[in-house]
Chain A
Amino acid sequence: MTFEDYRIDSSNGLEFGLYTLGDHLANPHTDKRIPAHQRLEEIIEMAKLAEEAGIDLISVGESHQEHFTTQAHSVVLSAIAQATEKMKVSSSSTILSTSDPVRVFEDFATIDLLSKGRAEIVAGRASRVGLFELLGYDLRDYEELFEEKFELLLKINQQEIVSWEGEFRKPLVDAHILPRPYSGQLPIWRAVGGTPASAIKAAYQGVPMYQAMLGGPASVFKRPIDAYRDTLDSLGYNSEEFPVATAGFFYAAETTQQALKEYYPHINEGMKLTNGRGFPKQAFAQGRHRGNVMNVGSPQEIVEKILYQHEQFNHQRYIAQMDFGGVPFDKIMKNIELIGEKILPEVKKYTAQK
């Protein structure tokens, strides 16, 4: 596989995307929560505006618990594919462990056809594990469920007729898996937590890695990326052929102080509900340092941070989470406007490889 197989063109510079976990939370500034249908409509609207602003990609995650609304994330992605024309549509992430890889492939291959080759899958193991019980799986099989299903998904992606046997699914005997993606194969990435131990597993499977990073020094998040590339090379792959993506908090406002002030309550109150504890203000305050991966600040500071991260990681894609914790739609629109007018042109200018 090469960058081309993953539909990455480095001459366009660092890909810039948006991602949402599909959380459905009250706006802490007003204590009001919009209805679920409105939240879904706004996610689709966010994608349309993002596309107009030149943003390369949008992705939607699945979380099967209270305070979320995109459990059926592939259905939402399908609606986004219909509403957009150019941008990539991806997942952030697809919890493969509790789904049948055949069905996942069918869904995303269909989205790929509907979008004429814009769909991809980012497969993850779940950081919130309540869905194991809901969907009838044993948490004790956490690791093996994912690895087995991931291997099957990769196999289905590579070949149309599949024979396969494993522990968690009935065997497939000369099964014809349809539909096939628009351009033959889907880009399939692996979602990785912030540790080298997690990152090298993407190398073991020979797939590109997607790194989640909430806050902390870029130098720390560089370690898993280095470990991933080293492992790829030691396994006989060429790490230069594998793209790397990072994902994290993002919020732009005219000044850094305004950005911190507006965004912090969303992150802190939102995380209390979705993760069981808030985000310490002290850690959030450190987000303003250039070396911290949290891209919260004025457009100019965000540009400098993204370029610094690019220098550190040499990654091919960054995706921004700006809608977490009930951020109202007018602020999402403002963010997209700032990205389109002030951030993207600079980021692209300095990262495009001619």
Chain B
Amino acid sequence: MLKYNTRSRRVWTTIIVVGLAGAFAVAGSYSAGASPKAAAGGTPIQQKIAAALQKPTKLVFWGWAPQTAPMVAAFEKQYPKVKVDYVDMEVDSSEYAKLDTAIKAGSGIPDVVQFDYSALPQFVLSQAVLNLSNYGVSSLANTYTKVAWSQVNLDGDIYGVPQDSGPLALFYNKTVFDKYGLTVPTTWAQYVADAKKLHQENSSEYMAADSGDPTVADSMIWQAGGKPFQFSGTSGTVNLSDPGTLKWASAYGQLLKQGLLYTNAPLYTPAWVTGIKNGTFASWITGGWGVGTLQYFAPTSSGDWRVAQVPQYTAGAHASAQQGGSSTSVMNASTNKLAAIGFAEWFSTNAKAISTWQTYGGFPSQRSVISSSAWLNNPLSYFGGEKVDQIFAASENDTLGGWQYLPYNVYANSVFSDSAGQAFEGKVSLAAGLKAWQKLIITYGNLEGFNVSS
């Protein structure tokens, strides 16, 4: 509970406040909002949403997950009058560039969008995303893990239905570890020591590949207890040399300085896939969705990989964080808001949707799934029969509270390579690189009318 303090308190008070506010806001038309879990037919707003799904409607949905298409098909089967036009945006930042352009143009804006949690605040701030607090969505709070719910809760309002979660874990190649006699690291000090030993034994082996990825940096800083981005509305601070960030910069900086990480293989490029397949990269610290990603990119490595808790800064601790994860959100410009909300809710509450999401390696965000013994005790043959989900469930619960993404995260990520990325080229220390990133982030924020200081 302690780990959660600020955030969870905010979440829970928020839910109560929002629930009440929602009730009062629409009190003119109905009064059941305060008890959203009303039986038989649900609250008036839920009934309206259900009714909207029975009318001929066309929804445009922008997403990227490979399992989306079959899920959309299942939805259309259940609600034959609603036609969902799914546009596959794939995994790159161009989705947000395209969305920005559509918003700027005021036309071509989809009804429903799958957002990375990290990108959501930016679009909420530009008032492009519908506030779902008044639509009864708050009643879903207990459906999702605290972490997942906290990521769609921005300054007290709900801006999406959580889709997946990305609890951090250490994926390691056991075959490589055994070959070079490495112990599975439980602390960052051990991780660095393992990396050194591995590279000494075989100079073409690396502990991991990282070519300077802002999403990795964010989650590692988060796991080290850093809270570099603190915003309330339009003012805030950016401090990429707070104690947590510096802890990571010091551990990771050693790896970079000694050339123990492979820095010429950005995620998903052929170089990265090759290295993962042939065991050049012995480990990968990433979100729970890595389970699906590894099987997708390296099917031939079945049996090589295992999962463990993320290395800790204090021996015996259990600090974790998130990488990635996404929500399904409704856009303000939608002319079919109710049906869009119905779709977004269905997308991660319907049993069939949930199971399809997992079949394709997607990581769940629903409490009912994460606490179910069937899920927890499912041995994965790709991971040598290890019950990896137990590690992710623990990581989900151990995720440190208080993390915030920037309200202009997309831009910040786009200039990571210009600043902090230089540390991955060996040109500056990681701490100095992060400081340079901070400067770019602050300058941009103030230029755009935010009130940002260090």
Does B associate with A?
A: no
Interface residues of B (CB under 8 A from A): none
